[in-house]
A and B are shown apart, each in its own frame.
Chain A
Amino acid sequence: MSDTHAVTLRILRGEGAQVREVEYTVDVETGWVVLDAVLAVQAQQAPDLAVRWNCKAAKCGSCSAEVNGSPSLMCKTRLDDLDPGEPVVVHPIKAFPHVKDLVADVSWNYEVNKKITPFSPDENADFIYYQEDIDRVQEFRKCIECFMCQDVCQVLRNHDQHPNFYGPRFLVRVAGLEMHPMDKANRLEQIDQDGGIFLCNINKCCTTVCPEDIHITDNAIIPLKERVVDERYDPLKMLFRKLVGK
């Protein structure tokens, strides 16, 4: 049956400049994930602890945090996979403004999303298309918007290029639209000029952290870059455009 033992967590608490790690020890049961332990701390010792979560089943992407320095979904990170001798250090994701304790302000992502040209099919099109046409699109649509790819992307995390770069999440969204067999819009200029796709230098940090195993770099960003180059920076096409004045 269930085995109970004590685990120590070191959770970032506070807001603004007043943040510090606070240590809590809680009894945990077999198979508990980090979120179970954090919620136990909240229920038993720190009722005002700020933590964002919803489904607890890795489907909603709300409980992203940095566990022992790695961006993780707290609901998917099992305590028995972590070093039993060491405290579990839990911090909020860092690429966005801190609100309090484990909560960061991720509203910037929602602003980026608004800028993307929406799905644009022909009004009277027959929606007949085949599974092989959409396997790739469905891969992109698995995204649960945990924003961990945004969190680890050095363009955002280290270089604060938020005004100039959509980040991996929204390049994945654009890829899902561009590759949708019924979509008629063109977002290539948008991701080049406004979305800053060439700020990405293919480090694949995003792919590594994706809890949905989306091949963000190989399947979304690189093909999009190729399309942008092909359409906008092909020397012959550029010359042609210059000649016809387009």
Chain B
Amino acid sequence: MTNYETVDVDVLVIGAGGAGLRAAIETSRLGTRTALVCKSLLGKAHTVMAEGGMAAALSNVSEGDNWQVHFRDTILGGKFLNNWKMALNHAKEAPERTNELERWGAVFDRTKEGKIHQRAFGGHTHNRLAHVGDRTGLEMIRTLQDKGVHQGFDVFMECTVTHLFKADGRVVGALAYWREDGRFILFRAKATVLATGGVGKMYKVTSNSWEYTGDGHALALNAGVELLDSEFLQFHPTGMVWPPGVKGLLVTEAVRGEGGLLRNAEGKRFMEDYDAERMELSTRDIVSKAIYNEVKEGRGTEHGGVWLDISHKPADYIIKKLPSMYHQFKDLADVDITKKPMEIGPTMHYTMGGVRVDPDSCESSVGGLFACGEVAGGMHGANRLGGNSLSDLLVFGKRAGETAAEVAKGIASHAAISASEITAAQEALLKPFAAEGKETPYDVQFALQDVMQNQVGIMRNGDDLKAAIARFPELRERASKVRVEGSRIYNNGWHLSWDLQSMIDVAEVVARCALEREESRGAHTRLDFPDTDTGKWQKLNTVASKRADGTIEVHTQPKPKMPDEFWALVEKKPAK
């Protein structure tokens, strides 16, 4: 039996990106004692990498914009698979959340009239993205961070949650370790909010950081919660492809929003063959597949990409509107984007699927457990529109915080957590130190990334998916034997040994759901089922859970039906 410190709080928020910070601000505002736990330092979460902007129908630039059109764009972009109520809440509340962020100190770019400026983006009918150059995520996270430090919640930085504990069917606490020294910490909480982001690190080419190992997805699975539509992973059309060290690094969609053009190696604006109406500002699923196809048919660049060109715009305009991109290419690829095109290709970017939650309260099917932001499923359906993520974080971060605080207030005292479960969790975490296997966690992570990249990638087929699924018993076996060297002090290899367990479970969920859905829709493309099935599959969600023996179960369920009055909004083509 090992030692641990115990921290009692009303609400435990796991993850400190936009959603977690917004949730913690809300729970503290409502007077509940809150712990905000994050794997990295505060302010370094993935939100910081968001570039283009946050979508909100403020109608500062396009007068015709309103929540109804935003709702319609979101449903059309999500290929009708979105949870309609989440999309509705999001479209209605995004403007208020954006204005609120400004009142908390965010300094957005301005219109001539002195209002928040909004830029064009793929799939949005109107200029809708509030932005700060191409560093909007940094502005959001810093604003929330600086607001948050005066809210009274406690921040546990570089602290990783590994297990949730239940009592009487409710989530009542969590085990975590400090990265700095490996000590364990037990949180007892009346409500727990997952805000852990996505799963991109199971792919080789990704814009995601080391943190994106599907922790929240795995915690939910292990707590008996279902994951929704996990086959939908967004491959962002524009990641860097050269040089090798930066492969996968994000190139913001704002380049296209500001007028950037896509060309193949023959110099042709190939989007006219795929979406002649919207061209470069088509949705991400369509642009990614177009690029994939151009390269596959031999019209790609030397390094397997296509060209993205903004150099026809004035240099000072590019540097003002896309400063990070200008420096990123200049510093890392020796390319001056004011003069030359960028070489780009698809990169794994965002997790649409996730924890199944109530669209209003963000509560999961297990009492006391909430989810918001990227880790939650439903909001974006089969394909997320650029800019809808940052607004999602704030809208549902606030909602999750609100209900979590309410639930926590209704609970008089902390439930007891089984001592044997706590001991077992710690033993599982420490096991790799005693393992005698030859492989390190990195070896197994690379093997997993190979499987996912090659067999569960942007283009899928049944045989590949079955072959990938057949690999999981072996990967799991290898992961259970990995060897960890050194001490518990800031030991990245040890940290990965646990993240690996989460990644493998969630990767298997992705592969099995991808096999289950026998159609192509949004970000999920089956070469053996190339058509979008507007009959059967348009009405179905895939649902994954973990059986008691640890195996993954997948089935389908009818999606919630959208009421007629909202269908009317979707069917009505708005005036541009």
Q: In chain A, what residue has the closest Cβ to B150? A: A118
Partner of B490, one of A56, A100, A118, A180: A100
Residues in A neighbouring B400, C-beta threshold 8 A: none
Does B564 touch A at the CB level, under 8 Å?
no
Query: B43 contacts A145, CB within 8 Å?
Result: yes
In the complex the two chains form, is B490's CB within 8 Å of A60's CB?
A: no
Chain A residue with the shortest CB-CB distance to B43? A145
Answer whether residue B67 sits at the interface, using C-beta atoms and an 8 A cutoff.
no
**C-alpha spacing A54/B84, complex, angstroms:** 34
A78 touches B489 (CB 8 A): no
Docked complex: A220-235 residues within 8 A CB-CB of B: none
Query: In this assembly, does A59 line the interface, its C-beta being within 8 Å of a C-beta of chain B?
Result: yes
Chain A binding surface SS class: loop
B110 touches A29 (CB 8 A): no
| A138: contacting residue among B107, B113, B332, B484, CB under 8 A | B107
Give 1 or 0 for each of B2-18: 1 = CB within 8 Å of chain A CB: 00000000000000000
Contact present for A113 and B149 (CB under 8 Å): yes
User: Which of B324, B441, B484 has most A Cβ within 10 Å?
Assistant: B324
Q: Indicate with 1 or 0, residue by residue over B98-113, a CB within 8 angstroms of chain A CB atoms.
A: 0100111101011011
- Of A40-48, A82-90, A197-205, the one contacting chain B is A40-48
CB A144 to nearest CB in B, in angstroms, measures: 7
Contacts of A78-118 to chain B: CB distance below 8 A? 78, 99-101, 103, 105-107, 110, 113-114, 118
**Is B40 an interface residue, CB under 8 A from the partner?**
yes
Q: Which of B113, B146, B323, B332 contacts A78 (CB 8 A)?
A: B332
* Distance between B490 CB and nearest chain A CB, rounded to angstroms: 4
Question: Which of A30-38, A160-168, A186-194, A237-245 lines the interface with chain B?
Answer: A30-38
Q: Would B333 and A31 count as touching, CB distance under 8 A?
A: yes
Taking A33-B332, A47-B442, A119-B105 as contacts, is the C-beta distance between A141 and B149 under 8 angstroms? no
With A31-B246, A43-B442 in contact, is A56–B209 under 8 Å at CB?
Answer: yes
* Interface residue? B250 (CB, 8 A): yes
Closest Cβ neighbor of A138 among chain B residues: B107
Residues in B138-187 with C-beta less than 8 Å from chain A: 138-139, 142, 146-147, 149-150, 155, 157, 180
Beyond A51-B492, A113-B146, A137-B107, whether A59 also contacts B332 by CB under 8 A is no
Is B35 positioned at the interface, with any CB of A under 8 Å from its CB?
no
Q: Does chain A have a CB within 8 A of B531?
A: no
User: Measured between C-beta atoms, what is the minimum distance from B341 to chain A in Å?
Assistant: 17
Within 8 A of B (CB), among A112-150: 113-114, 118-119, 121, 127-131, 134, 137-138, 141-145
Q: Give the chain A neighbours of B486 by CB distance below 8 A.
A: 47-48
Minimal beta-carbon separation of A175 from chain B (angstroms): 13
The answer to whether A54 touches B40 (Cβ under 8 A) is yes
Interface string of B240-275 (1 = CB under 8 A from A): 001111100110000000000000000000000000
Per-position 1/0 for B298-332, Cβ under 8 A of A: 00000000000000000000000001100110011
**CA of A103 to CA of B249 in the docked complex: distance in angstroms?**
24
Distance A29 CA – B242 CA, assembled complex (angstroms): 11
- Check B244–A32 contact: CB distance below 8 A: yes
Q: Which A residues lie within 8 Å of B114 (CB)?
A: 128-130
Whether A152 sits at the interface, judged by CB under 8 Å, is no
Report A-chain residues with C-beta under 8 Å of the C-beta of B327: 58
Total inter-chain residue pairs, C-beta < 8 Å: 167
Separation of A49 and B442 alpha carbons in the complex (Å)? 12
Residue of A nearest to B490 (CB): A50
A57 and B132 alpha carbons, distance in the complex (Å) = 18
Q: Is A15 an interface residue (CB 8 A)?
A: yes
B532 contacts the other chain (Cβ, under 8 Å)? no
Give CA–CA (A114, B109) in the complex, Å: 27
Contact flag A31-B211 (CB < 8 Å), given A57-B49, A118-B146: no
Query: Quick check: B110 and A134 within 8 Å, CB to CB?
Result: yes
Give the contacting residue for B244; candidates A15, A29, A48, A138; CB below 8 A. A29
Asked if B332 and A48 sit within 8 Å, CB to CB, the answer is no
A50 and B328 contacting across the interface, CB-CB below 8 Å: no
Which residues in B have their C-beta under 8 angstroms from that of A48? Answer: 484-487, 491-494
Q: Which residues of A contact B489 (CB under 8 A)?
A: 15, 50, 99-100
Q: Among A15, A44, A55, A78, find the residue whose CB has the most chain B CB atoms closer than 10 A.
A: A55
Partner of A62, one of B41, B142, B440, B490: B41
What residue of chain B has the Cβ atom nearest to residue A183's Cβ? B105
B332-A31 in contact (CB<8A):
yes
Check A131–B109 contact: CB distance below 8 A: yes
Residue in chain B with minimal CB distance to A111: B149
Is B223 part of the binding interface, using a Cβ–Cβ cutoff of 8 Å? no
Q: Is the CB of B150 within 8 A of A30?
A: no
Find out whether the CB atom of B157 lies under 8 angstroms from the CB atom of A107: yes
Which A10-45 residues have a C-beta within 8 angstroms of B? 15, 29-33, 36, 42-44
Return A107 CB to nearest CB of chain B, in Å: 7
In the assembled complex, the Cα of A7 lies from the Cα of B43 at a distance in Å of: 33
B residues in contact with A157, CB < 8 Å: none
Separation of A42 and B484 alpha carbons in the complex (Å): 12
Contact A128 B42, beta carbon cutoff 8 Å: no
Residues on A with C-beta less than 8 A from B105 are 118-119, 177, 180
Question: A215 in the interface, Cβ–Cβ < 8 Å?
Answer: no
Closest A-chain residue to B440, C-beta based? A47
Q: Is the CB of B107 within 8 A of A134?
A: yes
Chain B residues 431 to 486 lying within 8 A of chain A, measured CB to CB, are: 440-442, 446, 484-486
User: Which residue in A15, A36, A47 is a CB contact (below 8 Å) of B492?
Assistant: A47
- Name which residue of chain B comes closest to A140, CB basis: B107
Which residues in chain B, 110-124, are within 8 Å of chain A measured between CB atoms? 110, 112-115
Residues of chain A within 8 A (CB-CB) of B44 are 54-55, 60-62
Question: Shortest Cβ distance from A81 into chain B, in angstroms?
Answer: 10
**Docked pose: A53 CA to B139 CA in angstroms:** 20
Within 8 Å CB of A114, what residues of B? 149-150
A60 vs B113: C-alpha distance in the bound complex, in angstroms? Answer: 32
Q: Are B244 and A130 interface neighbours, CB within 8 A?
A: no
Query: Is there an interface contact between A53 and B209, defined as CB atoms closer than 8 Å?
Result: yes
Given A31-B246, A114-B149, A131-B109, A141-B139 contact (CB < 8 Å): yes
With the chains together, A38 CA to B530 CA distance in Å?
42
Question: In the complex, how many angstroms separate the beta carbon of A150 from the nearest chain B beta carbon?
Answer: 14
For residue B567, CB closer than 8 A to chain A, the reply is: no
A-B contact pairs, 27 of them (CB 8 A): A29-B244, A29-B245, A31-B242, A32-B245, A36-B245, A42-B442, A47-B492, A48-B484, A48-B486, A52-B41, A53-B210, A57-B49, A57-B250, A58-B327, A62-B41, A76-B332, A78-B332, A105-B180, A107-B157, A110-B42, A110-B155, A118-B146, A128-B115, A129-B110, A130-B114, A141-B139, A176-B107
Give me the 4 closest cross-chain CB pairs, A-B, nearest first: A31-B243, A47-B493, A48-B486, A119-B105
Extra contacts besides A47-B496, A48-B491, A144-B138 (16): CB < 8 Å: A15-B489, A30-B245, A48-B484, A54-B46, A59-B138, A60-B49, A78-B331, A99-B180, A107-B157, A114-B150, A127-B102, A138-B132, A141-B107, A141-B138, A142-B135, A176-B107
Q: Which residues of A contact B (CB under 8 A)?
A: 2, 15, 29-33, 36, 42-44, 47-62, 76, 78, 99-101, 103, 105-107, 110, 113-114, 118-119, 121, 127-131, 134, 137-138, 141-145, 173, 176-177, 180
